Chain A
Amino acid sequence: MSLSEYPLFIIGAILVNNILLAKFLGNCPFLGVSRRMDTATGMSMAVIFVMTMAGMITWLVQYYLLVPLEIEYLQTIAFILVIAALVQLVEIVMQKTLPALYRALGIFLPLITTNCAVLGVAIMNINEEYGFVDTLVFSFASAVGYSLALVLFAGIRERFALARIPKVFQGTAIGLVTAGFMALAFSGFAGLVN
């Protein structure tokens, strides 16, 4: 991809094809951590880091291990093991080198292993046949898009605490309906990138 095509590519990944609101990846933690701003930003930072690294490593695994050995059918299991190992490694390293950040992220770090967005983006990189640099950019941009949706959502939900919501809708239900309208808003970006 030429340098001039990157800005559109990035905007596409963040807004038009937002991995959460358009591609439905990463919903479980989305509804769980987005009630407050600080948890939302903590999760965002962790996701950006893990998703970018996982995108790069899984790309290397695919093209230097799975393809040469003709075991592409093991992609799912190889990728999830890479992600689980990566998260474990990140936890151990962060505990020693950046303990404050580690404490701030808390339980969200191990939870990223089961975040379908991370595995989803890793698989998408391969399906779209991106090169290494494009994979890096796409993974990072997707994570930024996810974080954007997360932080916006948290902002809205903090206001819910003051609103009168029917009992049956309280909690996850109203969260989902709100996400629906956010998705509607984001779908307005569809014409932005050709």
Chain B
Amino acid sequence: MREILRMVVVLTLICAGSGFALALVHKVTKEPIEYAKLKNVKEPAVKAVLSGYDNDPIKDRIVIVVGKDKRGRPVKLVVFPARKGGKTFAVAFEGTGKGYHGEIGVMVGIDLKTDKLTGIAIVSQSETPGLGARIVEKSFTDPFKGQSLAKPLTKDRIHALSGATFSTNGVLAAVNQARDILTKYRKQMVQ
């Protein structure tokens, strides 16, 4: 009996010690991990759409709430500001649109003074290789640069992909969703 008690006590103590140590390490590394993830996964896209800044858009990122999901929990959006001399002159964040094979994630860069696109970069897509997947090519994304968002972006202002209408529309939807978000939450983005 005493033996079993000893076994239980020792194992419990070891598990408790482990739990405590791990919770501690988890707490300490939470922020660095989030930063590392963003830097490695999103930074290439952010760099592709923003330029001419003297800050670190990843480090200076702002999280804003843009609504509620089906369960009533807040939906968060991460905004990456481009600053010069401390003032934000452009922002980049992700918009999503429905493509042919699921959601397309587009990193949209917008110049705040002119309301023009500084560029787009496709962050995630599962479109058909050779057809819709060609939205990642420069020949498709380049024409978005400099387009004005005063009015919603339409297909005639960019180079639509032939044979991939759904994919093209998906990207446009994502850009226009970003446009809506900018209109609604502009003030919060320029903190």
Residues of A within 8 A of B (CB): 73-74, 77
Contacts and interface: CB of A to CB of B under 8 A. Distances in A.
A45 B40 CA distance: 42
A73 B26 contact: yes
B154 interface: no
Contacts of B18: 77
A163 B78 CA distance: 65
Interface residues of B, number: 3
Contacts of A74: 22
Interface of B: 18, 22, 26
A108 B86 CA distance: 64
A73 B22 CA distance: 9
A77 B22 CA distance: 10
B190 to A, nearest CB: 32
B155 to A, nearest CB: 31
Helix, strand, loop or mixed for chain B's interface? helix
A77 B15 CA distance: 10
Contacts of B22: 73-74, 77
A176 B22 CA distance: 38
A183 B18 CA distance: 40
A70 B22 CA distance: 14
Contacts of A77: 18, 22
B61 to A, nearest CB: 21
A73 B24 CA distance: 12
Nearest to B30: A73
5 contacts: A73-B22, A73-B26, A74-B22, A77-B18, A77-B22
A77 B21 CA distance: 13
Contacts of A73: 22, 26
A74 B22 CA distance: 8
Closest 5 A-B residue pairs measured CB to CB? A73-B26, A74-B22, A77-B18, A73-B22, A77-B22
Nearest to A73: B26
A73 B18 CA distance: 13
Contacts of B26: 73
A57 B81 CA distance: 44
B103 to A, nearest CB: 14
A2 B14 CA distance: 45
Nearest to B19: A74
A12 to B, nearest CB: 18
A194 to B, nearest CB: 11
B191 to A, nearest CB: 28
B119 to A, nearest CB: 31
B13 to A, nearest CB: 16
A78 to B, nearest CB: 11
A2 to B, nearest CB: 15
Nearest to A74: B22
Nearest to B33: A73
A74 B26 CA distance: 10
A77 B26 CA distance: 14
A129 B26 CA distance: 23
Nearest to B26: A73
Nearest to B22: A74
